[in-house]
Amino acid sequence: MDLDGQSKPAMVLPYTAERGLDGKNVGRSANTDIVPENFSLVVGEIYRSSFPRSEHFEFLQRLNLKSVLTLVPEPYPEENLEFLKRNGIQLFQVGMSGNKEPFVNVTDETITTALAVAIRPENQPVLIHCNRGKHRTGCVVGCIRKLQNWALTMIFDEYRRFSHPKSRPMDQQLIEMYDERDIVDYAREMHWIPIEWCTADAKDIADTAKASEESTDRKQDR
């Protein structure tokens, strides 16, 4: 897949029964949405979650997704493919191996390919997912935060919230070492990064955190 985001071929909580006035099970309510684990809005129309199962399809329909970006390399389940087809949702697959240390299988090129899919406006609303929505998804979201000029302290705080209790230092190293210059230049040229991604408040917070990091580094160098 190139930076233009051309697609490649490749969607989990308990059944909930609602009870009627007579106390009998009458099946799941049409208004009952079961949300995938680790689901969250990232920014704009970019979402993240664990691997969706059929229980989540009703909820996903409400997002009016245009695309799903899966980070798992395995073949996509037929049930999920049928759901995507029924709803006119395009599938992008940028496979990454499970993030076990040492982290040697994910290159900057792979991350850049995933970012190009996620931030392209034509693909949004888009859902990014891996299996549990923690590590691989966390790495991609962390790199999106770099495009937003977030300080590393903020990026790592978010990563740890979603990956708890198994945060992986190598994931954080991947985020820190990722060179976003190529995708940033290309995205700006294509007008893929909206200015509202970096509000004044967010920029102030990021600048303050970055200044704090630099101050700490200077003290350590003394």
CA distances in angstroms from 44 to 21, 125, 130, 208, listed in the order given? 41, 8, 20, 23
Provide the token pair at 14: 């308990």
Catalogue the active-site residues: 130
Cis peptide before 169 (omega within 30 of 0): no
Cα–Cα distance for residue pair 182/125, rounded to 1 Å:
23
Q: 108 CB contacts (<8 Å, ≥6 apart)?
A: 178, 179
Residue 47 has phi, psi (to 5 degrees) of -120, 165
